[in-house]
Amino acid sequence: MAILKILQYPDERLHTVAETVPEITDKTRALIRDMAETMYAEPGIGLAATQVDIHQRIIVIDTSETHDRLLVFINPEITANSGKSDCEEGCLSVPGIYGKVRRAEAITVKALDSDGKPFVLDASGLLAVCLQHEMDHLMGKVFVEYWSKLKQSRVLAKLKKRKRNTL
């Protein structure tokens, strides 16, 4: 297993649209293990393959307090959604930046697990928010891009300043 390097916003590669996984192989499963290890090490509650510069539709999530409920979503699709929620979000690709994004309060997702078996999951609350956030990554969208241009430019300035201070 290995800890993978997470792309940092505004890295252009975060805007890549991921491709459907045509076949789940041992290589796919090794990638999923590495993604999970990377997410737990940070620690984070979700990671999309896009964030580790692999442009395939794969997400790992664990929103449990005990960090032992790994969920794997391959080729996820939202088939239903309802309600609205404004939840404070953060992202391993945009460290130190937090803010609200309006999303559906509850969603139904269909996907494949790491054995290629299809499943359907009804999610609400934090899990629903996390899934929508990670699925955005697969479409090349980062959560701060929901905000106004002004707020985004403040985020960029803050990240630039921090980078300068750590050099």
**Which residues contact Ni ion by CB under 5 A?**
91
Smallest distance, Ni ion to C-beta of residue 90, A: 8
Smallest distance, Ni ion to C-beta of residue 111, A: 18
42/86 with CB nearer Ni ion? 42
24/89 with CB nearer Ni ion? 89
Output the six-digit token pair for 51: 């964030």
The per-residue DSSP string of 38-63 comes to: HHHHTT-SEEEGGGGT--BSEEEE--
28/93 with CB nearer Ni ion? 93
Smallest distance, Ni ion to C-beta of residue 91, A: 3
Query: Whole-angstrom Cα distance, residue 146 to residue 102?
Result: 9
24/45 with CB nearer Ni ion? 45
134 catalytic per annotation: yes
Query: Whole-angstrom Cα distance, residue 140 to residue 117?
Result: 26
Helix, strand, coil in percent for the chain, rounding step 5: 35, 25, 35
Smallest distance, Ni ion to C-beta of residue 141, A: 10
Query: Whole-angstrom Cα distance, residue 36 to residue 43?
Result: 10
Give the nearest residue (CB) to Ni ion.
91
Catalytic residue among 23, 65, 77, 134: 134
Catalytic residues: 134
